[in-house]
Copies of this chain bind each other. A is one copy, B any other.
Amino acid sequence: MSTHSVVTAIKVIEAVSELQPIGLSDLARHLDASKATTLRTLTTLAEMRWLQQGGPTGTDWLLTSHAYAVGVRGGAMGTLREAALGPMHQLQLESTETIHLAIPDGEVLILAERIDTPHALRAFLALGSRIPLHASGTGLAFLSACSDAEIETALSRTLDPVTTQTLTNPAKILAEITAIRNRGYSINVGGLSDGITSLGAPIRSLNGRPIGSVSISGPSSRITPDRFGAMGALVQETALRIGSQYPDL
């Protein structure tokens, strides 16, 4: 087996990130690599302060906060979030609900920023969560700004349902996308988590390419159909404001 050491290193980081706390043998097995290799990679990564030992047993491996600090600054992550914060705050005040900013990573969106509602009952999604394109307000909004070819490849993947109300039929999703394009914003009732409704709009860079999306999320009891129009207009406007500040991909 010929592997670049840096490839294994990255795999180690990602595996630890996902499975932590995790022990050496477990990790080596999961990576299908020898323990010696795995351990040496672990120790060098520890020297670089990306990993550390700890956890229940004291010998398990964990990701450090250094990894976080490095990741947050960053391309779209840094500049787009910076540009988005102001408009997102304003949208939070206007809607009084939770505001999400999502950014694409491969075939999913990643929750990049969240402005919380003061309400006790609220939608909750951890930062960094991977959000499937077909199952969320942000995702559907993002798709609606993609080219037909991109949409097709996105929908050609297996579309796992997240809740009982998740759209999984490509044809229905396509219909929904054209609806979104006409309407200007997406509507997702319980598709990502039960009882949560969200309205989303795509953020376009100055050249028109989709670079993320914003959404308003809250309990379906508060975000009722009669408020869709007003709230949808707000998200749409917010997405426009953010995109207009953002120069390019």
On A, residues with C-beta under 8 Å from B are: 4-7, 9-10, 13-14, 17-18, 20-21, 41, 44-45, 47-50, 52, 54, 56, 62-78, 82, 85, 89, 92-93, 103-106, 110, 112-113, 115-116, 118, 124, 126-128, 130, 248-249
Contacts and interface: CB of A to CB of B under 8 A. Distances in A.
A64 B118 contact: no
B7 A4 contact: no
A106 B47 CA distance: 12
Contact of A65 (B20, B21, B50, B112): B112
Given A6-B44, A45-B6, A68 B62 contact: no
A65 B73 contact: no
Contacts of A92: 118
A73 B6 contact: no
A55 to B, nearest CB: 8
Given A64-B105, A65-B105, 6 more contacts: A52-B75, A54-B75, A65-B103, A69-B130, A71-B71, A115-B116
A67 B74 contact: yes
Contacts of A76: 62, 64-65
- Copy total for this chain: 2
Contacts of A54: 75, 248-249
A71 B75 contact: no
CB-CB nearest 6 A-B residue pairs: A71-B71, A72-B128, A63-B74, A62-B75, A6-B9, A68-B71
A68 to B, nearest CB: 4
Count chain B CB atoms within 10 A of each CB in A21, A65, A67, A116 and give the residue with the most: A65
Contact of A10 (B45, B72, B74, B130): B45
Contacts of A82: 126
Given A50-B10, A106-B49, A128 B4 contact: no
Contacts of A68: 71-72, 74, 77, 110, 112, 128
A126 B71 CA distance: 13
Contacts of A13: 70
A74 to B, nearest CB: 3
A36 to B, nearest CB: 15
A68 B4 CA distance: 23
A95 B6 CA distance: 47
Contacts of A69: 71, 105, 110, 128, 130
